[in-house]
A = this chain, B = another copy of it.
Amino acid sequence: MHVLIVQKFGGTSVADARRVNHVAKRIAHSRQLGNQIVVVLSAQGSTTDQLLEKAKEINPDASKRELDLLLATGEQQSIALMSMALHKLGCPAISLTGPQAGIHSTSAHGNARIKRIEPERITQELDKNNIVIVAGFQGMNRYGDITTLGRGGSDTSAVALAASLHADLCEIYTDVSGVYTADPRIVKNAQKLNEIRYDEMLELASLGAKVLATRSVELAKKYQVNLVVRNSMSMEEGTLVKEEAIVENTYVSGLALDKNVASVSVIGVRNKPGTAFKLFQTLAKAKISVDIILQSIGRDKTKDISFTVAKQDLQQAVQVLQAGKDSLGFESLSYDDSIVKLSVVGAGMASNPGVASMLFEALYNGGINIMMISTSEIKISVLIDARDADNAANAVHSRFFSQPVGAQQSQA
């Protein structure tokens, strides 16, 4: 009985011939252990950026369909080169584009969603004893046109293939050794987690931890794909993402810092029903996603509403609100893009009411002011001044992870 593993390597891992050869050796090693292997690759290094630059030179407002056809060549080159590198090592291998691999997607060029996978060609090639190398980030719509899957697309390709092939494991190789309790570049004592639950990973991913694309974790949870995040440059064990992680004594798994946040405050909104609805409808029509929302207790006839958006949406949010000032009826607008969102995530949080107070205490001791607060079942987020970000992350991390992961005491 073979173990079937899907392995995904990012663009940095295959940036040049040397690294392609290194990754090929790694894949060959997995195969020698008796596994069946499906590999998913991104485009080499900066290839995608170079292609975007070429397109921009010709047409800064290029059609998304044509951009997809152009960008898909990056992954196509990676897979062909990897197949050649494996052949040189004596490993039978074959490369398949997204369409050839049977990856069917919606028609939303530039941000397509995988609709279904018809994996017959892949299974045929596995049966022929081949390592199958699939171009990540791409699929085919119902017209036979090539689509790309948008941000995090290759992670998503890998997880979707693992689900479709009923793979035993989906390994996401990256330049870090796994999922950490905090970003190791900011928090010196950040610890690698051996296991983490899908829900927690999802919160961490959507809260700014860049190790896995949110979409791929959602898909892994939906199809119960065992996901491992590990380092392509070391043989270290990574972090296993699964339904029930064995971290019994932990109520906080990690913290995330999202720097891509800006806040908008709408001052002096009329204090009557429907004003909030109209405000957020205006933003929704402009396709602006709103995250944390805070509404002041109404004083007399007016109240204030604050909310956060992604930094790149700030300008447009302010514009559409200003344009609708008369019908929305408010006094003034203010905004701030020098803020960050710090979040602590943990499945054990709901049954440990002390977590919030531990967080606030840590921030208070560090002299850090909290601007907004948002909570869910398994996370608490606070907005703080961007200048406080690193201090806050270290202070909070020390408070929750003073002892090795898994040995936290469950009484807060």
A50-76: CB near B (< 8 Å → 1, else 0) gives 010011011101110111011011001
> Which residues of B sit under 8 angstroms from A63, Cβ to Cβ?
83-84, 87
Bound Cα distance A94, B146 (Å): 12
Closest to A82 in B: B58
Q: Would you call A100 an interface residue if the criterion is a C-beta within 8 Å of the partner chain's C-beta atoms?
A: yes
> Which residues of B sit under 8 angstroms from A97, Cβ to Cβ?
69, 146
Known A-B contacts A59-B87, A62-B87; the reply to A80 vs B76 at CB < 8 A is: no
Contacts A58-B84, A72-B76 aside, 8 further interface pairs with beta carbons under 8 A come to A54-B77, A55-B81, A59-B87, A61-B88, A62-B84, A67-B80, A67-B84, A76-B76
Verify A94–B77 contact, CB threshold 8 A.
no
Verify B81–A54 contact, CB threshold 8 A.
yes
Q: Would you call A396 an interface residue if the criterion is a C-beta within 8 Å of the partner chain's C-beta atoms?
A: no
> Which residues of B sit under 8 angstroms from A145, Cβ to Cβ?
100
Bound Cα distance A73, B74 (Å): 8
> Which residues of B sit under 8 angstroms from A100, Cβ to Cβ?
144-145
Q: Would you call A287 an interface residue if the criterion is a C-beta within 8 Å of the partner chain's C-beta atoms?
A: no
Bound Cα distance A297, B88 (Å): 52
Verify B70–A76 contact, CB threshold 8 A.
yes
Verify A69–B95 contact, CB threshold 8 A.
yes
Verify A76–B73 contact, CB threshold 8 A.
yes
Cβ 8 A contact of A54, one of B17, B55, B66: B17
Q: Would you call A21 an interface residue if the criterion is a C-beta within 8 Å of the partner chain's C-beta atoms?
A: yes
Bound Cα distance A17, B69 (Å): 17
> Which residues of B sit under 8 angstroms from A54, Cβ to Cβ?
17, 77, 81
> Which residues of B sit under 8 angstroms from A67, Cβ to Cβ?
80, 84
> Which residues of B sit under 8 angstroms from A77, Cβ to Cβ?
51, 54, 70, 73
